[in-house]
Chain A
């Protein structure tokens, strides 16, 4: 109905559709172009590729340094995403259900890594880690990734906990269930889809993190750090293969999230 109220003439509507489609194309075309380019046989980045080959994938998988970077990225993402999930999940629960003073302040502090420019977090961590001698350590890297991904976890789980009827927990308590038992048997099963989504988001967030990692990782290479360093120096078509793999990984991860949330009927509130 609103389309008729403010849509105006057919020309206005067509113009709007053209602008909307342009916006979507602007967002997605770069990603779509990278995929065929990764199968190019040529060294130069010409579109369309002159002929197809898998040579850039062979270069990627055959390079021990890329493989090591892949392993480091996976390791750091696995540990830091679980840490962010546990710490952020507990905190989101405490903030939504708790009554202690200073909740707004605490939440603001936990969400701050999202607002404070990442370059500042990177510099502050660089200076502090250099001071305590943990610059270039896996521990520093995992801790940094954890705190950067806490806000994502808290956003997803904060909404889910608010939507979950507190009286259900209170019934469990009043029937004598312990706190741990209530968590395990009542809260977690109900929040499971959102917990899964939060974990995937934290994993992607860590796997893709580049700025802080470039500053504090020292000799450790992650996939984004290596990619960034190579891109600043020269354009190497192997990157196109890496980029395509990352796109495929993101699409699969998001599809899994959409599937799990969709089945639980929670897709809409988490996405928009």
Chain B
């Protein structure tokens, strides 16, 4: 067998590379340019000074961070038991559960967000149930506030946490747990000392991924927040489409991009450990 069959292969990626450089890399570089450049004066941090002075930007930033954090925690609290329970199911049960997690993942985010208006609205299922059970007299307002946005985001992002976590959990060798049991460890100890530490890298990676996605969320806050729960993306929308201040939008986008890439770098490190 000759080695002439080894190919360089650069030709295969060349067409896509051209497209990406022209239609993805160049626009992002152009955006960075707008953020840091002023005509005739060159490099400037002026657009960032503007950000620091306007309290509204800082408030939106704080809002975004808080909602992202709460939605991530909700994801962990709902997702971890779900993935763990799925691991314990039989073959058939696992397949059905995976299908039920994968399906919403592929359904349009608009549909999933809109569905919450139907479920959480004043005449919706949840309020009907609450009133019927006598827990409340008047409808509880879930919509057009932070609570609704958080519920919607947690729902949309849950598959991103559950699928990799489940994949990591089914890789854990049952014999490890049996060994611990045969040495006399009670179930609680086995869970916390053996099982949980083994799932921790995947959990951390999944949570970071969910957090990154939360930071850039646009559709859910716009619909379920009804304009009352501004997040970074909605602010950017305003700065581009309503009061055109492109430099400021570029400056905020750059900031968001840097934060995202930094968290993503951490995610990659943990994810390598999780899948090793």
Asked if A77 is an interface residue, CB under 8 A from chain B, the answer is: no
Asked if B233 is an interface residue, CB under 8 A from chain A, the answer is: yes
Asked if A99 is an interface residue, CB under 8 A from chain B, the answer is: yes
B190 touches A210 (CB 8 A): no
B-contacting 9-mer, from A5-13, A51-59, A60-68, A188-196: A5-13
Instruction: Name the distance in Å between B117's Cβ and chain A's nearest Cβ.
Output: 6
Asked if B250 is an interface residue, CB under 8 A from chain A, the answer is: yes
Residue ID in chain B nearest A12 by CB atoms: B187
User: A112 to chain B: which residues have CB within 8 Å?
Assistant: 24
Within B117-134, which residues are at the interface with A (CB < 8 Å)?
Answer: 117-119, 121, 123-125, 128
A90 touches B98 (CB 8 A): no
User: A127 to chain B: which residues have CB within 8 Å?
Assistant: 27, 30-31, 34, 246, 250
Chain A 1-36, CB-CB to B under 8 Å as 1, else 0, gives 111111111001000110111111011111101100
A271 touches B82 (CB 8 A): no
B30 touches A124 (CB 8 A): yes
User: B181 to chain A: which residues have CB within 8 Å?
Assistant: 4-5
Interchain CA distance A28-B119 in the complex, whole Å: 12
Asked if B241 is an interface residue, CB under 8 A from chain A, the answer is: yes
Asked if A123 is an interface residue, CB under 8 A from chain B, the answer is: yes
Asked if A155 is an interface residue, CB under 8 A from chain B, the answer is: no
A109 touches B25 (CB 8 A): yes
Residue ID in chain A nearest B127 by CB atoms: A47
Chain A 219-236, CB-CB to B under 8 Å as 1, else 0, gives 000001001100110010
Given contacts A27-B159, A224-B108, contact A272 B167 (CB under 8 A): yes
B9 touches A115 (CB 8 A): no
A99 touches B6 (CB 8 A): yes
Interface of B is mostly: helix
B88 touches A27 (CB 8 A): no
Given contacts A47-B128, A124-B31, A254-B103, contact A224 B84 (CB under 8 A): no
Interchain CA distance A201-B246 in the complex, whole Å: 33
A-B contact count (CB 8 A): 300
Chain A 129-163, CB-CB to B under 8 Å as 1, else 0, gives 10100000000000110110010000000000000
Residue ID in chain B nearest A83 by CB atoms: B19
Within B211-267, which residues are at the interface with A (CB < 8 Å)?
Answer: 212-213, 215-216, 218-219, 222-223, 227, 232-233, 236-237, 240-241, 246, 249-250, 253, 256-257, 260-261, 264
Asked if B43 is an interface residue, CB under 8 A from chain A, the answer is: no
Given contacts A231-B114, A243-B114, contact A120 B253 (CB under 8 A): yes
Asked if B188 is an interface residue, CB under 8 A from chain A, the answer is: yes
Chain A 249-264, CB-CB to B under 8 Å as 1, else 0, gives 0110110001000000
User: A227 to chain B: which residues have CB within 8 Å?
Assistant: 110, 114
User: A47 to chain B: which residues have CB within 8 Å?
Assistant: 118-119, 123-125, 128
Given contacts A17-B85, A28-B103, A100-B9, contact A243 B111 (CB under 8 A): yes
B residues contacting the other copy or chain, number (CB 8 A): 103
Most buried by A among B103, B114, B253: B114
A91 touches B114 (CB 8 A): no
User: B56 to chain A: which residues have CB within 8 Å?
Assistant: none
Interchain CA distance A239-B25 in the complex, whole Å: 36
Given contacts A170-B1, A224-B110, contact A100 B8 (CB under 8 A): yes
The one of A12, A28, A87, A123 in contact with B240, judged by C-beta atoms closer than 8 angstroms, is A123
Asked if B112 is an interface residue, CB under 8 A from chain A, the answer is: yes
Chain B 2-37, CB-CB to A under 8 Å as 1, else 0, gives 100111111111011101100111111011001000
B236 touches A231 (CB 8 A): no
A5 touches B190 (CB 8 A): yes
User: A121 to chain B: which residues have CB within 8 Å?
Assistant: 24, 28
Residue ID in chain A nearest B163 by CB atoms: A272
If A121-B24, A147-B19 are given as contacts, then 7 extra A-B residue pairs at C-beta distance below 8 Å, sorted by A number, are A8-B187, A30-B116, A45-B124, A47-B119, A94-B11, A123-B240, A246-B107
Cross-chain pairs A/B with CB under 8 angstroms, 23 sampled: A1-B178, A2-B177, A8-B187, A8-B188, A23-B79, A26-B158, A27-B159, A28-B104, A31-B107, A34-B111, A46-B124, A47-B125, A91-B15, A93-B9, A99-B7, A106-B13, A117-B233, A124-B27, A147-B23, A174-B1, A239-B114, A247-B111, A272-B167
